[in-house]
Every structure is written in C-alpha cells, then in structure tokens.
Amino acid sequence: MNTTINDWAGELAGRHIVLGLTGGVAAYKAAEFCRLLVKAGATVQVVMTDAACRFITPVTMQALSGRPVFTSQWDARADNHMPHINLSREADAIVVAPASADFIAQLAQGRAGELLSLLCLARPLAQAPLLVAPAMNRQMWAHPATQRNLRQIAADGAHVLAVGCGEQACGENGDGRMLEADELLEELIAFLAPKQLLGARVLVTAGPTYEAIDPVRGITNRSSGKMGFAIARAAREAGADVTLIAGPVALPTPRGVRRIAVTSAVQMHAAAVDEARTATVFIATAAVADWRPAHAAGNKIKKDGGGQPPPLALAENPDILAEIAHAPRAQSGELYCVGFAAESDDLLVHAQAKRARKGVPLLAANIGPATFGRDDNALLLIDDEGVTELPRASKRALARQLVAEIARRVSGGEEGERV
C-alpha cells in the first residue's frame, strides 16, 4: 500500500457506505477495503451475494464492519421486510467491490434476483450513487459483452472504476484485477468530494530541484514535495484535470494525476512553460534552486590534498513563476497563478515583497524550516484584499483549504475570513 491508515483518518466521517460483495477471489481485498472505510470514519453496511459467501464468510465481514451482514432479500430483521429499500435509502454511496462479470451483466439488464442487485435497482439515483469495481479474468474483461455491459451501466448512472493490470489468480497476466483497497478508498473519497474546480486544468510544481556539480554531487534543498502532492490530490478531488511536475522525491503519484518527473530547474522550467499553455490554474509549490553550477563536471571532482575546494561558478536559474505569471495568458486572466514562499524569518514582509516581485494574484507563505519534511504546515495567503491565515494542520487538510480558496477566487465567490 502507498498510504497508511492514519492518512485516511476522518476522511469519511459521517458517511454511510453500503459495501456489496459478489463472487470472486478479489473478495479478500474487500475485507481490507472494509477495514479502511471504518478507519476513515464511515459506517459500513455489508451486503453479500450467495457467490460472494463462497469466497469469504459473512462472519469475517461482520467482524470488520461491526454490523450484521445482509445476504438475502427475505431477511426478516427489517420490520417492513424490505431490506432492499431500507439499505439503499440510508446510503451515501453503494460500492460493489468486487463486481463480477455476471453481476455487471445483471445490472445492465436490470435484473434483481438477489438482494444486492435488487437494492442497486431500488436505489434513489440522485441520493445513492453506485460505484462498481470490476474484478475478473483478462479475457472476460476484454470480451465485447462485458465491455457492452460496462457501457450500459455507465449510461444508466453507475460510476465504473478502472481495473488494475497484473498477475491474476488463474495464473494469467493482464487487465481485469480489482483495484487495491487503498486505491478503492482514494477513488471513493475523490468521488464524494465537492467539485469546486470542475473543468479546470490545474498545473502544480512540487518538490526540490537538483543541480549537478558533478556525477555524484549536487545542490538541492530539504523540500519533501508533500505539500505539492497534497495540493495535486486535492485539486483532482475537486474535479480538476491535474498535471504534476515533480522534482526528485520518493512519493507515490496521486490517483488520477498525470505526473511529469524532472530533476533540474531548467528541466522543470521547460515542462512548466509548455504545460502552462493549456492550464487554467498554476500552483507553484516547488522549491526551485535559485542557482546552478555554471558548468557541471563530467567526472567526480577529486580532492587535491591542498585543503582548498575548487572554485564553483554559479549561474542563475530561470524564474519559472515570474515568467509564467507575466506571460500573456496570465495577464489576460486565462491563467490564474498561485505562488509559494518558504521563508526563515519575517514571513509576512518577505512574502508580500515576493508576491509583488513575481506578479501573482495569490501567494501562500510558510516558514520553511518548520515545514520541510513534516506532515503538517501553516500558511498565510496574501492577495490584493489582505491576508488569510490557515492555521497549522495536516498538509492534506491545508491542501483542501487552499484549493477551496483558489476556487472561490477563480469563480469570483466570497473569500475566506481575513485576519
């Protein structure tokens, strides 16, 4: 897994999820998915088909969810004997994971022979969205009938999740694997998030740059990239098409985000200028090195025993943010630019000066030594109207707040409380 349980804590607080299991070996992933849902704060009601009970027991899912599992439309525990109505009306979302080829065919045909397909058919379309996580052999996945059924259920309002590619239980290798539990959770969280940037094309730079002195040494900084990656993820959840240009960091790419890996400031500059041609929002979180060695040595520079280091001539790196912010698209309002300032002292004074120098409508400032490598941060947002303070919180929470602030400014809505 790319994330820990703590990364999801509280993400789904107050949400009620109906988790449906159909027949397939991927049911073992549904057990972990159920556990992550509960850790994320959701209440989980599990509904299983007869075939699902062949792969994993209702007892297991009851232990993980903390609620009795439903398997039959004739279950007498409901006072009105209508579990298909009661369960679907209570749900914030219905997630079928795994969804077998047979169950997808049932949905496409509107069949309701078991409780799970029945409650999917009986769900209020506007109130209880249906997410389907397919899981099957690669040949079954590629079959025209399966693909036709997937298109049909999507046309009927279901949200069909992607499948993974890799080794399958049958020994074959290819498309059709169900997503991993953490991937399912990330997809669900993104699906339920408010779409404040729907239709926007967001470009984010993140992490440090590395400027080579020779093949084994270089100039860099302590930026972990965590803030930029959190912003990219939050923007994607808000409905944006997100491109992330990342320096050398060991962080997983957020789901649904296109990543461009670079090393040096010159490489980041070339990629950012190119991508900014079609972006509508540019968020420059990267800690770009101000200087680079004017000439990188082709071989490792050796000590000469004289006690004096060799001279190191420096050249100034391109100013990515200033160049893009002063380009015609930004000046005309087609591209909204957000800068970041990592300072060591006098945060407000330095940040205001940097905003004026870069020419950006919004600048987010923080104390660099207090945030580099950490999972939390605090921000000052500075624009023409004044200063908005975002108190210390997780970078995940701050990223969502920042994206909401950007969305309000881009849409011309009300801004946050001023300090």
Catalytic residues: 170
Contact 188/17 with Cβ under 8 angstroms? yes
Residue of 382, 381, 354, 378 lying closest to 366 (CA atoms)? 378
The owner of tokens 């699906």 is 191
| Sign of the torsion formed by the C-alpha atoms of 396, 400, 401 and 402 | positive
Contact 366/380 with Cβ under 8 angstroms? yes
| Sign of the torsion formed by the C-alpha atoms of 313, 318, 319 and 320 | negative
Contact 399/377 with Cβ under 8 angstroms? no
> What end-to-end distance do the CA atoms of the chain give, in Å?
40
Q: Residue 224 carries which side chain, given as an amino acid letter?
A: S
How many other CB atoms are there within 10 angstroms of residue 218's CB atom? 18
